[in-house]
Structure 1
Amino acid sequence: MKKVLIGTMMSLLVAFSVACSSEEAGGEAEGNENGETITFGVTPWTSTVPPTEIASLILQDMGYEVEQTSADVGSVFVGLSRGDLDVFMDSWFPMHENYMSQYEDTINDTAVSYPEAETGWTVPTYMEDIDSIEDLKGNEDLFNNEMYGIEEGASATGESNDLIDAYDLDMTQVASSEGGMLSQAMRQMNQEEPVVFYGWRPHTMFNEHDLKVLSNEEGFFESSSVHVLTNHELKDNAPDAYEFLSNWSISIDEVEKMIVKIEEDNEDPEDVAREWIDNNQDKVEEMIGE
């Protein structure tokens, strides 16, 4: 009798487990119609957030599971090349061409988000006599012989060091996070002191302060275009997702407005992205091919 009871209980337990597994599997299928998880690489730049959030929500609406992985730009390229990451929404060209040349066999240059993104060494406009990198020569001491840049390993950081060498400037780049760099620059700008740092659009820095990007005759920091990258496998694994991403575009002004809402108004990035989607349904339908 004891053996019968044990056998009956085990049968019921197995049946219950199978039922639960079937129910969970059915729930996952209902929530993920395409059966595919798409992973975005997210760099620690404010410009990366709005397009990543918008694309993530649209892909979720298409039935995909979406994950976001934070990493520096070098790690993002490695992740794309290995297939650990599927999408990067914020690659700057020609700045990132050195990475693409390394991984061109495993990464697709899929779409252009927006062209003509201004980037380079930046000063406040109250520095009326400093308009170009050439104007810094002989005036390095005004800046305590320091220029503020973003994190080590970023292409912009390397290009800034090359610029210092090319112009034989008596300056040292102080590399930090985006937030750390801007905090230092803003402290000096609030006192109207001389400061030079790495700036780019789209970014709230150009809304909060009167700034100018310094010109240079050596061709450093050419005007950039921002691209969407995908790993080679995505086109076959998720063709409709790839089609959507290949049709992706957004204006630099729209991205900058969303950055202001997120960074200055403390609005939730997902809410800001959803608002953009709701207000741009025609464009969304065009991008997903409807």
Structure 2
Amino acid sequence: MKLKPFYLVSITILLMLIGCGANDDDGTVNESKNNASGKEIIIGLDPYDYATIPAYLSKEILEREGYDATIQEAEVGILYEALSEGDIDVYIDIWSPNIQKAYLEKYEGDFDIIGTLYSGAPVGLAVPEFMDHINSTEDLETYIDEFDGMIYSVEAGSGMDQTTRRLIEEYDLDYDVTNSSTPAMIAQASKMIDDNEPIVFNAWRPHTMFKLLDIKMIEDPKDIWGSDDVQVGAVFDLKEKAPEAYTLYSNMEFTLDEIEEWLLKMEQDGKEPAELAKEWVDNNEDRVNKWLEK
């Protein structure tokens, strides 16, 4: 199984963006945001496939509304900093209150939360379905030898990685954490499940893993993971600068199934996010108009 990764943006490139302005899709450089016409908007996108749905759909919608919309890709921590400094206008993948708790606390008061894309997204640890005796995080220490004392997690420093390490402390688990990109983690899980080998790893919805792998999430009696709402953060002046964008992001919402269907089209059919966005907007005019309050 192969998921499409997104390129990370380095601190160096971020500093260049701050000094020079973000690149348009054609490679040209925008003028400083201080000189923006009010019809420009920069959308922050982190390296997770599910985040492409609100990013590319909103880009397509706003361009049809006359905006010059640019998607700026970066890792989560860089995007929080960029949003707090006003170097992007919106960040469309804020997981609150659990997964990105550290970032939300660090940048509290530096931007607005203006919309919720979907609620109650389950996040935690998963094991193969064939492991009938593993149903709770509390079972992990008892059967530590089966897992070789290893939990597989996503990118080091991400909100999910931080929560995984806190969970190990709270449950007093004698486990180590192996970090990798999300595609690499899923590939490892797929291989081990195919070989009928035990594995415990980060899992969440929306994601195609629950449609493509025979897995189950295990219980978290201490509620370390909880469930999150996925929200949109925006600069404080977005409503004045870009009223249509403010209205759109205030009203956009999805179901988990809708996002996972989008992801399957990317993964299995080789569809690009921009292509899917155009198709979706063409076929959902009434819903788009409702989001725009037309």
Q: TM-score range by the shorter chain?
A: 0.7 to 0.9
Letter in 2 for 1:169: L
> What is the 5 A alignment of 1:178-193?
178-193=182-197
> CA–CA distance in 2 between the matches of 1:37 and 1:189?
47
Q: Considering only CA atoms, is the larger Rg found in Structure 1 or Structure 2?
A: 1
Letter in 2 for 1:63: G
The answer to whether the 8 Å contact 2:38/2:242 transfers is no
> CA–CA distance in 1 between the matches of 2:104 and 2:230?
13
Identity %: 35
Letter in 2 for 1:60: E
> What is the 5 A alignment of 1:147-226?
147-226=151-230
Q: 2:258: which partner in 1?
A: 254
Ranges of 4+ aligned residues in structure 1 off by more than 4 Å: none
Matched, 1:286 2:286: no
Give the drift of 1:101. 2.6
> CA–CA distance in 1 between the matches of 2:282 and 2:39?
25
TM-score (norm 2): 0.84
Matched, 1:267 2:276: no
> CA–CA distance in 2 between the matches of 1:169 and 1:100?
27
User: How many pairs does the alignment contain?
Assistant: 258
Residue number among 64, 87, 91 corresponding to 1:88 in the alignment: 91
The answer to whether the 8 Å contact 1:108/1:232 transfers is yes
> CA–CA distance in 2 between the matches of 1:145 and 1:205?
23
Give the drift of 1:107. 1.1
Give the drift of 1:216. 1.4
Which ranges of structure 1 fall in alignment gaps of 5 or more residues?
A: 1-33
Give the drift of 1:176. 1.1
Letter in 1 for 2:169: D
Letter in 2 for 1:253: D
Q: 1:65: which partner in 2?
A: 68
Q: 1:143: which partner in 2?
A: 147
Matched, 1:98 2:98: no
Q: What secondary structure sits across from 1:88 in the alignment?
A: strand
Letter in 2 for 1:157: D
> What is the 5 A alignment of 1:221-232?
221-232=225-236
Q: What secondary structure sits across from 1:271 in the alignment?
A: helix
CA shift digits 1:152-207 (9 cap, x unpaired): 11111011001111111121111111111112111101111100100111111111
Q: 1:13: which partner in 2?
A: none
Give the drift of 1:217. 1.3
Give the drift of 1:116. 1.4
Letter in 2 for 1:264: Q
Matched, 1:42 2:24: no
Residue number among 107, 118, 124 corresponding to 1:114 in the alignment: 118
> CA–CA distance in 1 between the matches of 2:243 and 2:149?
52
Higher helix share: 1
Q: 1:130: which partner in 2?
A: 134
Q: What secondary structure sits across from 1:118 in the alignment?
A: strand
Which ranges of structure 2 fall in alignment gaps of 5 or more residues?
A: 1-36
> CA–CA distance in 1 between the matches of 2:100 and 2:112?
13
CA shift digits 1:225-260 (9 cap, x unpaired): 111111213222112211111111111111110011
Change (3 A) 1:109 1:97: farther
Q: 1:52: which partner in 2?
A: 55
Residue number among 76, 80, 85 corresponding to 1:77 in the alignment: 80
> CA–CA distance in 2 between the matches of 1:211 and 1:232?
42
> CA–CA distance in 1 between the matches of 2:138 and 2:101?
26
Q: What secondary structure sits across from 1:272 in the alignment?
A: helix
> CA–CA distance in 2 between the matches of 1:246 and 1:122?
33
